[in-house]
Amino acid sequence: MKDLPLSTLKANRSARSRGAVGLNAVVPILVSEMFSKDVVMLDYGSGPDQIHANKLKLDGFKNVHTFDFGQNWREGMQYEVFPNRYDVIYASNVMNTWSTPLMISEALREIYIGLGDIGIFLANYPKSPRYLKDYLDEDMETILNSFFRSVKLLPKNIYFCVK
């Protein structure tokens, strides 16, 4: 893993309404700058078009897998998060779509189980989540700390979590 490219966090916009989705999304850009091209990673909540994973693959990342469920699931995606399989799991604009505290816990448990022994989870939690608008950064940090041994809040409300 490389050092945190803080210039990326300063240069890119982070609000969903101002370009933080698609190819401008900060989390996948950060992933591409932080990790070597041979890490095994999972785009958790990749969406039906798998934009971030496809971009990483075009940039030379060899082991990028995708996961989503319901109407977003497509042929070729993982149909489950396999235990102890991934070095990195990232979620771009996904945590803000979790609609209940129970859903948050279940998703984080699944992500934790999917990570290898020293896996990294990288995700953003926007200041304007779609659901749980009263669920504060402190609440998200508390629940992340209940799963991960290290949780660091980076600029642009990106969480860097180590198993």
Where are the chain's structural domains? 22-153
d(CA 69, CA 65): 14
What dotted CATH number matches 22-153? 3.40.50.150
Q: What is the pLDDT of residues 59-98, one digit of tens each?
A: 999 999 999 887 776 777 777 888 889 999 999 888 878 8
Which region among 25-29, 36-40, 142-146 has the lowest average model confidence (pLDDT)? 25-29
Residue 102 CB partners (closer than 8 Å, separation 6+): none
First to last CA, the chain: 15
Residue 121 token pair: 């989870």
Q: Is the pLDDT of residue 133 over 70?
A: no
Residue 135 CB partners (closer than 8 Å, separation 6+): 101, 129
Q: Is the pLDDT of residue 57 over 70?
A: yes
Residue 97 token pair: 């779509």
Q: What are phi and psi of 42, to 5 degrees?
A: -130, 130
Q: What is the pLDDT of residues 22-37, one digit of tens each?
A: 666 788 888 889 999 9
d(CA 141, CA 161): 10
| Whole-structure pTM value | 0.83
